[in-house]
Structure 1
Amino acid sequence: MDVLIPLALLAVGLIIGFFVARYVYTRDDGAKASAQAEKNIKEIMAQQAEHHIHQTRQTIEAIENQCEALRQQVEEYDALLTQNLDDDTPRVPFYGEQATTYLRNNLKGKEKAKQKVTPDTQPRDFANAGSGLFVGSSKQSAADKK
C-alpha cells in the first residue's frame, strides 16, 4: 500500500501537469498566431494600398493626356477662327455657295425648256376590253379639272 499511494499521486500529478502545460502553450500559440495573422493582414492591406495608388496615378496621367489633347484642339480651333476673322476671303471655298450658284443656273434653264402638257384625253387602253381607269366616258376627271 505504501507504493500505491505515491504512484496514484504521481499519476494525478502527471495528468494535472499535462493539462496545465497544454493550457500555457496554447495560450502562447494563440497569441503568436493572432500576432502572425495581424502581420499578414497588414502586409495584404499595404499591397492593396500600393496597387490602388498605382492605378490612381495611371488614371491621373490618362486624364492629363486627354486634357492636353483637348487644350491643343481648342488652341487650333481658336487659331482657325482668328485667321478667318483677319482675312475676309476664306482659305477653303464654301461648298454651299458653289452649289447654290450651280443649282440656280441649271434650274432656270430646265424650267424654260420644260413645257407643261396636260392632255385633254386619256391615254389609250391596249386591253381587249376596256378596264380600270380607262373605261368610261370621255368626261374630264376631277383630278384634271384642278
Structure 2
Amino acid sequence: MEIGTLITGIVIGSILGAIIGFIAVKNMRSNSENKVNHTEAELKALLAIQARQHLDISRQALTDIQNKTAALATHLNEYEESLAQATMTAADSKDSFFGEHASVFLRNSLKANKNDLALAQPDTQPRDFANSGSGVFVGVAAKAPKENKSEGQ
C-alpha cells in the first residue's frame, strides 16, 4: 500500500497544485488587466486635460488677434481721416510757408536770378579730387586740357 498511497498522494497533490496554479495565474491576469485599464484611464484623462488647455490657449490667441485687428482698423480709420483733413486744410489754406512778405520777396528774387543762374553755368564740369572733370554730371568724361608739370619747371 505504500506505492498506492504514494501514487494517490502524487495525484491529489498535482490536482491541488494545478488548481492553486490556475487560481494564481487568473489572479495575476486580473491584476495586470486592472493595471492596464487604470493606465488607459489615466492616459485618457491626461489627453482630455491637454486638449482643454490647448483649446483655451487657442481661444485666448484668437481673441487677442481679434482685439489687435480691431485696434489696427481704428488706427487705420483715424489715419485716413487725418489724411483727408490734411488735404482739405492744405487746399483751403492760403498761408504761405515763409509768410506774406518773405514769399513775395523770394518769388521776385527767383525770377530775377533765373537769368543769372543760366549765365553762371560753366561749359566744363566741376573738378574732382584728381583735378580733372569726372563726367558724372553729363555722362561723358570731360576733356580737360592736359598740363605737363615737367615742362613748367
TM-score, normalised relative to structure 1: 0.62
If asked which structure has higher relative contact order (CA below 8 Å, sep 6+), I would say: 1
Alignment equivalent of 1:38, drawn from 44, 67, 70: 44
Q: Give unmatched runs, 5+ long, in structure 1.
A: 117-121, 130-146
CA distance in structure 2 between the partners assigned to 1:15 and 1:25 by the alignment: 15
Residue 14 (1) aligns with residue 32 (2): no
TM superposition shift of 1:74: 0.8
Residue correspondences, number: 119
TM-score, normalised relative to structure 2: 0.60
CA distance in structure 2 between the partners assigned to 1:49 and 1:42 by the alignment: 11
- Counterpart code for 2:94: T
Query: How has the CA–CA distance of structure 1 residues 56 and 104 changed in structure 2, closer, same or farther, with 3 Å as cutoff?
Result: same
Mapping of residues 49-88 of structure 1, within 5 Å: 49-85=55-91, 87=92
CA distance in structure 2 between the partners assigned to 1:19 and 1:43 by the alignment: 36
TM superposition shift of 1:69: 1.1
Residue 89 (1) aligns with residue 94 (2): yes
Superposition CA RMSD, Å: 3.5
- Which residue does the alignment assign to 1:106? 113
CA distance in structure 2 between the partners assigned to 1:75 and 1:115 by the alignment: 50
Q: Give unmatched runs, 5+ long, in structure 2.
A: 1-5, 99-104, 124-144
CA distance in structure 1 between the partners assigned to 2:30 and 2:122 by the alignment: 118
